[in-house]
Amino acid sequence: MTRVQADELTGHVAGARILRGERNWWFLGPGGGLARLRDGQLTAEGRLRPATERRLREHGLLTTALPRSYSLTVLTSTQCNLGCGYCFQNTGQDPDGGSRPPRIARTRLTSRTIGSILDFTDRQMAAAGVEELRVLLFGGEPLLNPRGCLELLERAADHGLASAWMISNATLLTPALAARLADLRLRSVQVSFDGDRPDHDRIRIRRADGGGTYDTIVRNLVRASEASPLRWTLRVNVSQETHQGVDALIGRLAAELDPERCSLYFAQVGDVGIGYGNDLQHTRDLSARFTRWQRRALDLGFTVTRPQAHRPCVTCGYDDGRFGAVVSADGTLASCWETAGRTDWEVGTITGGYLPGAVTRERWVGCEDLYRRADDRRTLAAFHDTVDAALLDYLDETGRL
């Protein structure tokens, strides 16, 4: 355990968040704790008073723990069967205006590379002093290499594998494959929806023929749910092209899937400068929309991702992948999944380890660092604080907190 240090200004704790709710303040501790505060427990500037800080510390809400497991992200295939124009793995737009934008180089995970990845992981876990492993199957589309997914999880069982999850477009997920993956400790799959069916089928399209994918994805999730205990994290992509249909999408998903097996979260599409400028402003109207969507999802039985303090990402938030690594299918290392497979952002290899700091310093990218935004950081932070406070208020009001 390491104790969070307060900065020079009394009442401000690194990583913590203090949100203004309708009837009280919410304190989100860096260790994951939550506390309800009254006006008198804060200064006029919204900082903790010394007595409040002391009480929170006594209850362990100002402490944080280092990760207890190692988080390994592996791209089993850098190829993808969809042609989404905004993908951060695209290297440009389809010159013919179709569904085949150029992408990062094709590589595919092999048995030999799996062995090297697990040897590398053993060394990293020993150095970090952790014994538990968590694996993320990533791509491209990971299920373009189902054999690689299954073999990696099967062999990882002898290297401390506790659980695994996958980010997939789900167009290739079969009931039999879902059951096999679940038997190998896969617990959940994250699947994206780009607005309601019409918008989704215009944006999230097949590379082969430009056809839509909504019905295929939902059908596969239903069948996989019947064959396995997998849970689903449904990411709803929000942009100027999709936000009008999100209300309808939530109702549609509730009717087609089992909400008790699903968690919903709403995320703005990141603008990485390749053919997709998300120009939605972080206005009061947009925050009201996010709040409405979250409350609607909760009322329909979905789980909604709860607000958290500012904690470092387990992969890109620590120097030289101390508690996690992102490995492409050919064994190259990236600091973050957003730069995996891109040769200009490599930070090492699984056989040679991480490159010297003088090299990686310029290539070490964190989550969303490459996103272009229309608003400044202060506006963005205020937006998230407003949305998160409203969610905590509603969870409290409805007895779900």
Contact 30, 60 (CB under 8 A): no
What is the pLDDT at residue 6?
Answer: 31
Cα-to-chain-centroid distance, residue 97: 29
What is the pLDDT at residue 194?
Answer: 95
The three-point CA angle 255-259-263 to 5° equals 130
Residue 235 is which amino acid?
Answer: R
- Separation of alpha carbons 226 and 220, rounded Å: 10
What is the pLDDT at residue 371?
Answer: 75
Fold entry, domain 69-311: TIM Barrel (3.20.20)
Q: pLDDT tens-digit profile of 178-195?
A: 999 999 999 999 999 999
Q: Who's near 29: CB < 8 A, 6+ residues apart?
A: 13, 16, 35, 56, 61, 62, 63, 64, 309
* Structure tokens given for 167: 């980010």
Instruction: Using the CB atoms, write b or e for 246-272: b if 16+ within 10 Å.
Output: beebbebbbeebebebbbbbbebbbbb
For the chain, what is the mean pLDDT?
92
* Structure tokens given for 219: 């059908």
What is the pLDDT at residue 367?
Answer: 84
Q: Check pLDDT > 70 for residue 41.
A: yes
- Separation of alpha carbons 336 and 118, rounded Å: 19
Q: Of 113, 131, 118, give the one whose Cα is nearest residue 70.
A: 131
- Separation of alpha carbons 193 and 213, rounded Å: 10
What is the pLDDT at residue 255?
Answer: 98
Region 351-358: mean pLDDT is 94
Contact 43, 49 (CB under 8 A): yes
Residue with tokens 């990402």: 313
Domain-wise residue ranges, the chain: 2-65, 69-311
Please count the other Cβ atoms lying within 10 Å of the Cβ belonging to residue 124: 22
pTM: 0.93
Q: For residue 319, name the pLDDT band (cuts at 50, 70, 90).
A: confident
Q: pLDDT tens-digit profile of 123-176?
A: 999 999 999 999 999 999 999 999 999 999 999 999 999 999 999 999 999 999
Beta bridge partners of 82: 206
Q: For residue 2, name the pLDDT band (cuts at 50, 70, 90).
A: very low
Strands 186-193, 161-167: pairing is parallel
SS (H, E, C) the chain: CEECCECCCCCCECCCEEEECCCCEEEECCCCCEEEECHHHECCCCCECHHHHHHHHHCCCCEECCCCEEEEEEECECCCCECCCCCCCECCCCCCCCCCCCECCCCECCHHHHHHHHHHHHHHHHHHCCCEEEEEEECCCHHHCHHHHHHHHHHHHHHCEEEEEEECCCCCCCHHHHHHHHHCCEEEEEEEECCCHHHHHHHCCECCCCCCCHHHHHHHHHHHHHHCCCEEEEEEEECCCCHHHHHHHHHHHHHHCCHHHEEEEEEECCCCCCCCCCCCCCCHHHHHHHHHHHHHHHHCCCEECCCCCCCCCCCCCCHHHCCEEEECCCCEEECCCCCCCCHHHCCEECCCEECCHHHHCCCCCCCCCCCCCCCCHHHHHHHHHHHHHHHHHHHHHCCCC
Contact 141, 77 (CB under 8 A): yes
